[in-house]
Structure 1
Amino acid sequence: MESICRYREKSRIYTYMETLYTIMEIRKVQITGGSSYIVSLPKEWIKASRIGKNDPVGLIVQPDGTLLVTPKIEQEAVQRKKELRVNATTDQTYILRCLIGAYISGYTTIVLSAQGRLPPSIRLRVREFTQMAIGQEVVEETETSITIKDLLNPSEMPFQNTIRRMAVIVKAMQQDGVEALRSGNVALAGDVVARDNDVDRLQWLIARQCNLLLTDANLARKMGISPQMAMNYFLISRIIERIGDHGTRIAKNAIEFHQEGSKGEVVEMIGTASATASKIFDRAMESMFGQDLEGANATIECVEDLEVQARAINREALKFDAAMATAIVSISDSIRRIGEYSGDICENIINNLVNEV
């Protein structure tokens, strides 16, 4: 009965909070004591937040001039717990996706439990997850449950540092994929494919930090970054992650290309186009870190030249048999998409900077 009451109370709070996001309450500013300005707070919000008489609340001035009122004035990070029930029939891919989803959503503790003994397959998925996700460690394990806790302090991993690392990795993936194509180095191509996991881990970290920051005003203040900027970094990280996917695609096709054993002028054309795409990507990242609006605009104009080179490669692919032509066109398309995604980064930069000009 007590759990039902708690559920109803939470439902009432959530319903009211949802209403707050859709309905604006107008309150008049009053003056007391001749110099103090006061505004009354909504009674329902006070009850939902369990604020009593003489309890302190925090006031945070937002970059856009709005004022955030929060009952959370402590400096400790918000702790959130997610419980997942599993059994022998639980789909392995499903539970791994749930673990990743809980991690990205910002849960600090994840508990997997079963009525009986935990299946060995679940323990394998947990181990796989902790190897994939940054800062996640198993802190408690019994026959029937596993507790995973986040040991990473979000404020110690600035968004810009993570973005820089992602950019370095994906650029090297693209260059090494083309080098594997040129030299026939299958081992190098395989290494490029493996590096895609590193890019995914970093992108998940940025997504997690963005969610944490949006729900914890204290963390936003501590990191010195606005929610809008955090969202901007998240969008850029998603684009960079897609560029990494195309670096992986180049490497996979390089393996197929090598197996065919036929090379020619098309390899040099691919190398030239790849160099152009790398240059566009470099300029996009320089524009982002340098907050260069004009540079971002100039970089977008360079994408058209890359598209011309990609079309030339596709025409050259017609000289080969179907299997080889398919691999060449796929590589050409990935190089073109890397340039276009770099242009998307620049458009994102312009959208973010235009209000500051």
Structure 2
Amino acid sequence: MEIRKLQLTGGSSLAITLPKKWVDHFGLKSKDTVVIYSQKSGSLIIQPARYKEQLLKTVLKIDGLTKDMLTRELTAHYISGSDELTIKSKRITRDQRNRIREILQSLIGYEIIDESSEGVFIKNIFDATKFPIIQNVEKMFVIVKSMFNDAIKAITQNNNPLASDVIDRDFEIDKLRLAIMRQFYALIQGRVYDEEIGLSQADTNYYEHVATQLERIADHAVKIARTVITADKKSESLVSSRLKNIVKKILPLLEYSEEAVRELDKTLAHIILEKNPEIERTFLLDRDVKSFEEMLVVDSLDRLRGYVMNIAEITIDQAIVVKKK
């Protein structure tokens, strides 16, 4: 940190000198243009005008990577903000190419521009400033609610087609969450700014955390759906009627948390958290399960409870942060 005194210039304007190390780092000279961004926090960000236009170019070498490792590495490049990604290998196999294409379906904005036997060139066409984070978190709520409701319906009716549909919807949740993470990283890296997206770093951090909890809830809806598909039973229902008692208390919490996030309502968030002891007692009282499938459903419902409580807690934190502004 360096401290500068304001100096009066031109009779009415205030000015400061820029740190020499910073100027030398960017190779700036007299008459060069800098851009000043005013942040919601009250701070100012100063950057060379050309800095904003620079693309982040990265290279991913995939020799020796398994399919899962390739997925993690490619996704990490996307989240960290790579604009141009070159994937290299001594020879890219057909399976690797297919895997790369599968991964790209979950990465909004990533497109294959060119490829050869030794490489794949990917370019980002995603404009973070035109991605409405709040609206997409709201969209995630809608999808997750439908997924969980249909997952419960699928297992109570032993409905395989409905279970398969739940699994398919998880794809959209993953896409939205990764795009929100990319935008959050772009903001903290100084590649986009508060005034461009209408959210501060604290705001974006909050919605990224909410999106993460929703993605985990969706994963448990998928877990229930897969239980339906893999179950070796011909009965109309894979669970007992007693499960309805738990479902009636758990699923409405998702509705309440959606409203709490939309309105940034800490009073409603407190109400959600106050319900937690009662719901925990319900799980303790209803320990007897009909089957292995029912045990998995009860576990997923308990995880849903935990994730909703997390959303309520961070909503209270965010509401207080916003009130202080």
Q: Counterpart of 1:111?
A: 86
User: Per-residue deviation at 1:302?
Assistant: 2.1
User: Per-residue deviation at 1:197?
Assistant: 2.6
**2:72 corresponds to which of 97, 113, 119:** 97
Q: Give the secondary-structure state (helix, strand or coil) at the position aligned to 1:268.
A: coil
Q: Counterpart of 2:253?
A: 280
Change in CA separation of 1:198 and 1:218 when aligned onto 2, cut-off 3 Å: closer
Does residue 1:303 correspond to 2:276, yes or no?
yes
Change in CA separation of 1:92 and 1:182 when aligned onto 2, cut-off 3 Å: closer
User: Per-residue deviation at 1:96?
Assistant: 2.3
Q: Distance between the aligned counterparts of 2:281 and 2:229, measured in 1? A: 25
Q: Counterpart of 2:169?
A: 195
Q: Counterpart of 2:56?
A: 80
Determine if contact 1:32/1:38 at 8 Å carries over to the other structure: yes
Q: Counterpart of 1:13?
A: none
Q: Counterpart of 1:354?
A: 320
Q: Give the secondary-structure state (helix, strand or coil) at the position aligned to 2:233.
A: helix
User: 1:144-187: per-residue Cα shift (whole Å, max 9, x none)?
Assistant: 22111112222222001211221112111111111111111122
Q: Distance between the aligned counterparts of 2:151 and 2:232, measured in 1? A: 12
User: 1:8-34: per-residue Cα shift (whole Å, max 9, x none)?
Assistant: xxxxxxxxxxxxxxxx22222222344
How do 1:104-253 residues align onto structure 2 when only pairs under 5 Å count?
A: 104-115=79-90, 117-216=91-190, 218-253=192-227
Q: Distance between the aligned counterparts of 2:11 and 2:73, measured in 1? A: 56
1 or 2, which has the higher helix percentage? 1
How many residue pairs get aligned? The number is 323
CA RMSD for the aligned pairs?
Answer: 2.4
- Which structure 1 residue ranges, 5 or more long, are not aligned? 1-23
**1:338 corresponds to which of 298, 301, 304:** 304
User: Per-residue deviation at 1:60?
Assistant: 2.1
Greater RCO (Cα-Cα under 8 Å, separation 6 or more): 2
User: Per-residue deviation at 1:36?
Assistant: 2.4
Q: Distance between the aligned counterparts of 1:333 and 1:30, measured in 2? A: 64
Q: Give the secondary-structure state (helix, strand or coil) at the position aligned to 2:180.
A: helix
Q: Distance between the aligned counterparts of 1:262 and 1:312, measured in 2? A: 26
Q: Distance between the aligned counterparts of 2:195 and 2:50, measured in 1? A: 12
**2:47 corresponds to which of 70, 80, 102:** 70
Determine if contact 1:155/1:222 at 8 Å carries over to the other structure: yes
Q: Give the secondary-structure state (helix, strand or coil) at the position aligned to 2:113.
A: strand
In the alignment, residue 350 of structure 1 is paired with which amino acid?
I
Q: Distance between the aligned counterparts of 1:113 and 1:45, measured in 2? A: 34
Determine if contact 2:40/2:194 at 8 Å carries over to the other structure: no
The TM-score, its normalising length taken from structure 2, stands at 0.90
Q: Give the secondary-structure state (helix, strand or coil) at the position aligned to 1:82.
A: strand
The TM-score, its normalising length taken from structure 1, stands at 0.83
Change in CA separation of 1:75 and 1:105 when aligned onto 2, cut-off 3 Å: closer
Q: Give the secondary-structure state (helix, strand or coil) at the position aligned to 1:341.
A: helix
**1:43 corresponds to which of 5, 20, 28:** 20
User: Per-residue deviation at 1:278?
Assistant: 2.0
Q: Give the secondary-structure state (helix, strand or coil) at the position aligned to 1:63.
A: coil
- Which structure 2 residue ranges, 5 or more long, are not aligned? none
Change in CA separation of 1:82 and 1:251 when aligned onto 2, cut-off 3 Å: same
Q: Distance between the aligned counterparts of 2:222 and 2:68, measured in 1? A: 22
User: Per-residue deviation at 1:262?
Assistant: 8.5
Change in CA separation of 1:125 and 1:188 when aligned onto 2, cut-off 3 Å: same
Give the percent of matched residue pairs that are identical in Structure 1 and Structure 2. 27
Larger Rg: 1
